[in-house]
Amino acid sequence: MAGKQEFRGLKGLKKQRRIQIIALAVVALVGATALIGYAMRDGINFFRSPSQVMSEPPALGETFRIGGLVVEGSIKRGEGTDVTFAVTDTNATVPVRYSGILPDLFSEGQGMIALGRMEGEVFVATEVLAKHDETYMPKEVMDALKEQGVYKKPES
């Protein structure tokens, strides 16, 4: 009889240990998920077209990407590496201010994406990306132009 009681005691101990391990695994998983979310809080940048920026202004201090076509005749160079230009999706235009070296392929009438935030009515960019060849346009820019009904497929 004593042997059966010991066996039941061991069985209960194994079950308790299993529950503890599962609980510890759940806590570790929740902790890891929270750490990943915390680390990515500034790493997720949403894309907006100029029309979206004008119709639904971003939250104060929100970092996002804006993209479209550089408006013809809008590039103005200031002192040093300061430059201003405007970006459009043909329905709305947003002025952009950037301090830094622009990519070599950055030019008027071409597709671009910039990362930054709005300061009043001006988008202050911290990074500017330009198309990398004659036919490339960033997917987000192409989708926004298609949505506006003004996208023209480049000739091959």
Name the amino acid, one letter, at 151.
Y
The domain boundary residue, chosen from 9, 25, 44: 44
Q: Which of 44, 59, 75 is the last residue of a domain?
A: 44
What range does the domain containing 35 cover? 1-44
**pLDDT in the model for residue 153:** 60
pLDDT tens sequence across 11-69: 778 888 999 999 999 999 999 999 888 877 666 667 888 988 888 888 888 889 998 88
29 belongs to a structural domain = yes
Q: For position 132, what pLDDT does the model report?
A: 58
Predicted pLDDT at 7: 56
Tokens of 72: 């013809």
Q: Same domain, yes or no, for 100 and 32?
A: no
Assess if residue 40 is contained within a domain: yes
Tens-digit pLDDT profile for residues 87-145? 998 889 999 999 998 888 888 888 889 999 999 999 999 999 886 555 556 667 777 77
User: How many domains does the chain contain in total?
Assistant: 2
Q: Are residues 22 and 52 in the same domain?
A: no
Residues 6 or more apart whose Cβ sits within 8 Å of residue 153:
none
Exposed e or buried b for every residue in 104-135, given b needs 16+ CB within 10 A? eebeeeebbbbbbbbeeeebebeebbbbeeee
Looking at the fold, whether 93 and 124 belong to one and the same domain comes out as: yes
Confidence at residue 110, expressed as pLDDT on a 0 to 100 scale: 85
Give the predicted TM-score (pTM) of the model: 0.61
